[in-house]
Amino acid sequence: MSSSIEVGGTPPAAPTAAEFAAMQASPEFQELRHRLRRFVFPMTAVFLTWYLSYVLLGAYAHDFMAHKVFGNVNTGLLLGLGQFVSTFVITGLYVRFANRELDPRAAALRAELEGDRA
């Protein structure tokens, strides 16, 4: 188990504002930010479009939403449950993406920024 506290018991010095600014301007940080945005923005647009479609169908397509699929289960209920399913799927996709793409890059940037202090 590693600790960020040195043997003498004093914590390492925090990076300066200039070091943070330099890291933010680095190509590695820009690539990390680009990868995050390339995933988050399209996924957000897809989900908001899906949610808005559900709301609009509920407001204006009563016959479609009330169509019985089986028993007392109608299209509106299935689409509403699909909202929950899609939320969990998107969350799972993001976690997998972050674990595979973002977290290793962020850890490398942090190690580079704090490397000479540890």
* Cβ proximity of 85 and 91 under 8 Å: no
Per DSSP, the three-state class of 86 is helix
* pLDDT score recorded for residue 5: 52
pLDDT at 44 over 90: yes
* Cβ proximity of 82 and 53 under 8 Å: no
Rounded Cα distance between 8 and 105, Å, is: 30
Is residue 95 very low, low, confident or very high in pLDDT (cuts 50, 70, 90)? Answer: very high
Name the residue among 87, 91, 88, 86 with its Cα closest to residue 39: 91
